[in-house]
Amino acid sequence: MQALNINITIEPHFFTKDPASTDLGKKIVRHSIEMINELGFEAFTFRKLGVAIGSNESSIYRYFESKHALLVYLINWYWSWIEYKLVFVTTNIPSAKEKLNNAIVLLTQETIEDTNVSFINEVLLHKIIISESSKAYHTCDIDAENEKGFYKTYKRVVQRVSSMVLEINPSFEFPHMLVSTVIEGAHHQRYFSEHIPALTDVVKGKNNIVRFYTDLVFKSIS
Amino acid sequence: MQALNINITIEPHFFTKDPASTDLGKKIVRHSIEMINELGFEAFTFRKLGVAIGSNESSIYRYFESKHALLVYLINWYWSWIEYKLVFVTTNIPSAKEKLNNAIVLLTQETIEDTNVSFINEVLLHKIIISESSKAYHTCDIDAENEKGFYKTYKRVVQRVSSMVLEINPSFEFPHMLVSTVIEGAHHQRYFSEHIPALTDVVKGKNNIVRFYTDLVFKSIS
DNA sequence: TTTAAGATGAAAGTAATACTATTATATTTG
DNA sequence: CAAATATAATAGTATTACTTTCATCTTAAA
pLDDT tens-digit map of B93-123: 999 999 999 999 999 999 998 777 688 999 9
Q: Which helix (H) or strand (E) holds B151?
A: none
Confidence of residue B208 (pLDDT cuts 50, 70, 90): very high
Residues B85 and A216: their CA atoms lie apart, in Å, by: 27
C-alpha distances in Å from residue B163, one per residue of A2, A203, A208, B42, B84 = 44, 19, 19, 37, 16
Residues 107-126 of B with CB under 7 A from strand D: none
Whether B208 sits inside 8 A of A177 (CB atoms) is yes
Question: CA nearest A191 in B: which residue?
Answer: B138
Q: Residue A151 corresponds to which amino acid?
A: Y
Q: What pLDDT digit, counting tens, does each position of A107-162 carry?
A: 999 999 877 778 899 999 999 999 999 999 999 999 999 999 999 999 999 999 99
Residues B45 and B86: their CA atoms lie apart, in Å, by: 33
Residues B128 and B73: their CA atoms lie apart, in Å, by: 12
Distance in Å from C24's C1' to B17's CA comes to: 22
**Closest partner residue to A138 among B131, B142, B143, by Cβ?**
B131
Q: What pLDDT digit, counting tens, does each position of A169-200 carry?
A: 999 999 999 999 999 999 999 999 999 999 99
In this predicted structure, the answer to whether residue A5 has a pLDDT above a threshold of 80 is no
- Give the single-character DSSP code of B170: T
Q: Residue A115 corresponds to which amino acid?
A: T
* Separation of first and last alpha carbons in chain B: 31
Domain ranges of chain B: 73-221
Contact B187, B136 (CB under 8 A): no
Alpha-helical segments (H) within B169-207: 175-195
Whether A181 sits inside 8 A of B189 (CB atoms) is yes
The pLDDT assigned to B6 comes to 67
Q: What pLDDT digit, counting tens, does each position of B129-138 carry?
A: 999 999 999 9
- Would you tell me how many other CB atoms lie within 10 Å of the CB of residue B23? 9
Residues A135 and B134: their CA atoms lie apart, in Å, by: 8
Residues B142 and B130: their CA atoms lie apart, in Å, by: 19
Q: Which nucleotides of C are covered by protein (CB under 7 A)?
A: 7-12, 17-22
Q: What value does the mean pLDDT take over residues B145-168?
A: 97
- Tell me which chain A residues have a C-beta less than 8 angstroms from the C-beta of B35: none
Residues A116 and B147: their CA atoms lie apart, in Å, by: 38
Q: Any atom of strand D under 7 A from CB of A38? A: no
Contact A119, A26 (CB under 8 A): yes
Q: What pLDDT digit, counting tens, does each position of A71-80 carry?
A: 999 999 999 9
C-alpha distances in Å from residue A175, one per residue of A134, A160, A171, B193 = 21, 10, 10, 14
Q: What pLDDT digit, counting tens, does each position of B3-17 carry?
A: 455 678 999 999 999
Residues A137 and A124: their CA atoms lie apart, in Å, by: 20
- Give the single-character DSSP code of B120: S
Whether A201 sits inside 8 A of B158 (CB atoms) is no
Share of chain A above pLDDT 90, in %: 90
In this predicted structure, the answer to whether residue B205 has a pLDDT above a threshold of 60 is yes
Q: What pLDDT digit, counting tens, does each position of B22-61 carry?
A: 999 999 999 999 999 999 999 999 999 999 999 999 999 9
B59: the nucleotide nearest its CA (via C1') is D7
Whether A176 sits inside 8 A of B199 (CB atoms) is yes
| Of B183, B88, B78, the residue nearest B120 (C-alpha) | B78
